[in-house]
Structures are given as C-alpha cells and as structure tokens.
Amino acid sequence: MEKYDLIVIGGGPAGYAAAMRGIDFGKKVCLIEADKIGGAGVYNGALSSKTLWEISNRVADINKTLIGEGRNSYKPEWTNVKKTLDEAIFERKFQYSCHIKLLQNETKNTTFKYKRGFGSLLSKNEIKIVNGEQKETIWGENIVLATGSRPRKIPTIALDEQSILTSDGIETLKDYPKSLVIVGAGVIGCEYATIFSNFGRTKVYLIDRQDRILPFEDQDISKLVSCNLEENGVTIHHNSSLERMEKIGNEVEYELKYPDGSTEIIRVEKALLSIGRIPNIERLNIDKAGIKMSKRGIHIGDDDTRTNIPNIYAVGDLSGRIALVNMGEIEARHAVEKAFLDSVLPLSYDNVCTIMFLKPEVAAVGVNESECIKKNIPVKVVKLDYSVIARAIAMRKTQGFFKIIVTNDDEMRIIGMRAVGEHASSAIQAVGLLIKMNAAVEVLAELVHPHPSIVEGIQECVRMLLNKSIFKSSVFKDKLACYSLIDGVKTPLERL
C-alpha cells in the first residue's frame, strides 16, 4: 500500500491549492480527482460565468455607444460568444494539466502523485480510489477533503439541462434563449440576469421571494442593481413563490403566487435554477472515519478547517463557511499549514473580499450597514458618489459609490466597506488589508494615490471622516454623506 504525508480528495481550486502547499513543505502528496482538474472554479462556475459577464459587458458598452449615435446595435452570434468562452476555459485547463504533468516529471513521482478516480474513506487514514474497473487503496498521514459542491435542485422540478437548467447546463446552450426565467435572486441569479440582459437578445424574468433582490446587502446596493436590471428589460417578480414549473412542448411554463393570493402563469423558452449549491459529500463515506456532520456541511466547530478527526480537514464548499474560490484556496492552504506546522494563527473570515459581477459590479469586505443596525453596532459611515471621482468622470462611468464603515470612536478603525461601480474589485483590497491589521483610517489618508484613479475616492471618504475633505458633505448632500449610526438612528456628521 502506497503511503503519503498528505492525501487530497478533490482537484478543484481548494484541493489543488492544498496539494501545492503540501509540496512546499517537501511532503509526499497525492491529489485525487474523479472528473476535471479545476472543478467549478474553471468549468460551469467562476471562470466560465465571469467570462460571459466580461463579454456581455463589452457588448452592452458598444451598443450604448451605437444606439446613442442612432446606429443599429451589435449582435454577436452565440457561436462566437461560446468560442471565446471555450478558449478561456481551455487556457486555464491547459495551465493546470501541463503543470501537473511537468510537476510529476520534475519530482520523478517521489513527491507528488496525481490519481484519477473517486476517493472515499475506509478509515481515518485509508483511502479507496475507484476509476472504472480499477481499484486501489492508499494510506495518508493527513487528509484534506475538497470535493466541492453542485447546484441545488428542486425535487418537484424535472431538470433536463436542456430546457430547465442549472449553471451546469448554461454552456450547453446552442443559441441565446428568446426568453429565460431565473429562479433565485441571490448573487448567481442576479449575475446571470445581468449577463443575458446585457446581450440584449433574451427576455429575462427573475423570481424573487423577497421584497428586494440581494436581501443580504444594504438597500442602496439592492436598489441600484435592481433598477439597472429593470432598465435592461429584466422583469423581477418580487415577493413571489414558485408554485410549479414544468416543460410543455418546447417551452417551460411556471406559475407564481403572490402574498395577496393572486397567481400568474408565464411561458418561456428556458429556465435556470439558481438556488444555491450543496456539498459533494455522499461518496466520501465520512462515517467510516467517524467524521461528524453539521447543518451546513462537515462539522468543523471552532478548530478551523479541522474536523473532529484530528488528521482530517474539510475545506472549500465542504467547510460550510464562505463558498468562494478565493476562500476555498485560503482554507486549503491553511489546513495544510495546520497539519505540518507546530503553531498556526486561526483563520480569520472578517476581511474576506468578495465581488458580485452585476451592473455595476459590487465588491464587499467586512460588515455592511444593515448588519450594524441588526447587531446594534455603533459606527460612523461615510459614502461618496462615483460622480465626484475624476477617473470615473473620465471613463464616463459615474454610476456607483463607495461606503466605508468605521468604529464610532476616536480611533475610527475600519470594519467594513462596499464598493459599487467600475473597478470596484480593485478598490476594495487595501481596505481588506487594513481590516486585517485592525488599522485606523489615517493610514489611507496619508497614502499618495495615483491620479486619476478610482481609489482616490476611498481617500476622499477617509478625509471626510477626518474633516479634511475637498468636497463638503454639508454642501454636496446628493453626492456625499457622513453620519453616525447608533441604535439604528442616523445622525449627520456635518463637515464644514
């Protein structure tokens, strides 16, 4: 029986990161993957959907100019869109596969081994690998479980990935749907609504159980994204419950029910279920190793990434925490460090930077204003509109804002930020670092930012808090805001 210092089950972003970190320690590592290296980080997920978003944004920008000049809109064929999408996926896939092949050659199979097949637990150290008719058992001192997740389904709806799809079926489309209903108004649902409405070839419907989309975010963000979707022609069914959905002929019929008892029946060409994801746990046979489960996934408890079995770790979508590629990679690296280092600081989730690929893009880190109200956290909030940022004006992309949340004391330590608009994802990073450092706002105020750049808006936010701003919130009340938030009550902080 082959023996390893580290066995990783799952070759998605988290599993791959765990294997590479194990190699850093000079350990003998085995990476097991049943399907495709890269997982949902490359296929049917992060890379593919964001490639579509990038293409659709360019099309929307081009058409805004063309229509403004009284010219016909640009309508790229779906085959061309699919070609670009396939090229992006192949490029990343090629990097992974070449890297693995060259790495195995470099280490002469003594340090790193890649095995194809389904890995499952026989005990806390033994792993059975099944690849067709081939079976083998290997032994690992430490084991990282990183088998990712799959789209959640609705038991009463018959999925065929042709007419009624999940995100796994989007790449099988042969053309733009004439009409598309999206079930679920969370991040992924809103992203696909943005993508298909940007292309301008699909009538999009979005089913929202709440009174507003993105209910976990502040209302000003939700309202801006919602208005842009509706301006793009998206119909949002607010406060609606899906009573049924079924394929009838070549169409999909769905019925909605509203709080007043009224119902509505609509037919579309395609339907997309976007109601979250569930972890791929079933084939791991975790009970044979004595691993406990929680409501959110594999039980981690307070010992981050480590399960109740000390030598077994669960990362990425299995950890039940934040199901993002970047977080999965960080958890995976952290798990390996816990396995091979004597002392490792706990993993912090307080400064996780996220991005929603919407119109406009939304980046976030730390707490938002709604959380502060809900948890009764006294804070100071500063908000600056993109329309007063020179780079945004130059780009003609003035829709959006920065919102920074700091402690309501003299130190004014940063605890959260929301960036909505062009370059939002790039702008958020420095604030994420300062949250990790538990730093005060003066650090940002003293930086010399490049000009013109979007991040200058962050510096201006800080200056407003320090009463050093170029524009005064008491004068530019429609562009700037600076206020304290105590017991849910907003009190303007006049800056003269």
Token look-up 């690296």 returns: 333
Query: What's the structural domain count of the chain?
Result: 3
| pLDDT 10s digits, 300-351 | 765 689 999 999 999 999 987 888 899 999 999 999 999 999 888 888 888 8
SS3 state at 177: coil
pLDDT of residue 107: 62
Same domain? For 173 and 141 the reply is: no
Q: How far apart are alpha carbons 488 and 403 in whole angstroms?
A: 17
Same domain? For 270 and 295 the reply is: no
Q: How far apart are alpha carbons 432 and 472 in whole angstroms?
A: 26
* Backbone phi, psi, residue 417, to 5°: -155, 145
Which of these three, 232, 248, 275, is where a domain ends?
A: 275
Same domain? For 191 and 309 the reply is: no
* Backbone phi, psi, residue 85, to 5°: -60, -45
Which of these three, 229, 251, 275, is where a domain ends?
A: 275
Q: Which two tokens stand for residue 132?
A: 């067709």
Q: How far apart are alpha carbons 291 and 305 in whole angstroms?
A: 13
pLDDT of residue 311: 95
pLDDT of residue 493: 84
Same domain? For 137 and 25 the reply is: yes
Same domain? For 325 and 218 the reply is: no
Q: How far apart are alpha carbons 191 and 272 in whole angstroms?
A: 12
Same domain? For 136 and 284 the reply is: yes
Residue 76 lies inside a defined structural domain of this protein: no
pLDDT of residue 472: 77
pLDDT of residue 496: 44
Residue 158 lies inside a defined structural domain of this protein: no
Residue 450 lies inside a defined structural domain of this protein: yes
| CATH number of the domain within which 202 lies | 3.50.50.60
- pLDDT, the chain, mean: 91
Q: For residue 405, what are the domain limits?
A: 360-492
Pair 57, 198: CB distance under 8 Å: yes
Residue 113 lies inside a defined structural domain of this protein: yes
pLDDT of residue 441: 81
Same domain? For 180 and 104 the reply is: no
Residue 65 lies inside a defined structural domain of this protein: no
Same domain? For 144 and 13 the reply is: yes
* Regions of the chain short of the pLDDT cut 70: 107-110, 295-297, 299, 301-303, 494-496
Same domain? For 373 and 471 the reply is: yes
| CATH number of the domain within which 458 lies | 3.30.390.30
Same domain? For 248 and 296 the reply is: no
Q: Which two tokens stand for residue 356?
A: 């929603």
Residue 389 lies inside a defined structural domain of this protein: yes
pLDDT of residue 495: 53
pLDDT of residue 188: 93
| pLDDT 10s digits, 105-136 | 876 656 899 999 999 999 999 999 999 999 99
Same domain? For 428 and 322 the reply is: no
Q: How far apart are alpha carbons 349 and 365 in whole angstroms?
A: 10
| pLDDT 10s digits, 256-284 | 999 999 999 999 999 999 999 999 999 99
Residue 353 lies inside a defined structural domain of this protein: no
pTM (predicted TM-score): 0.92
Same domain? For 98 and 187 the reply is: no
Own/partner pairs, 74-78, CB within 8 angstroms, 24+ separation: 75/200, 75/201, 76/199, 78/173, 78/174, 78/175, 78/176
Which of these three, 275, 294, 320, is where a domain ends?
A: 275
Q: Omega into 378 within 30° of 0, i.e. cis?
A: no
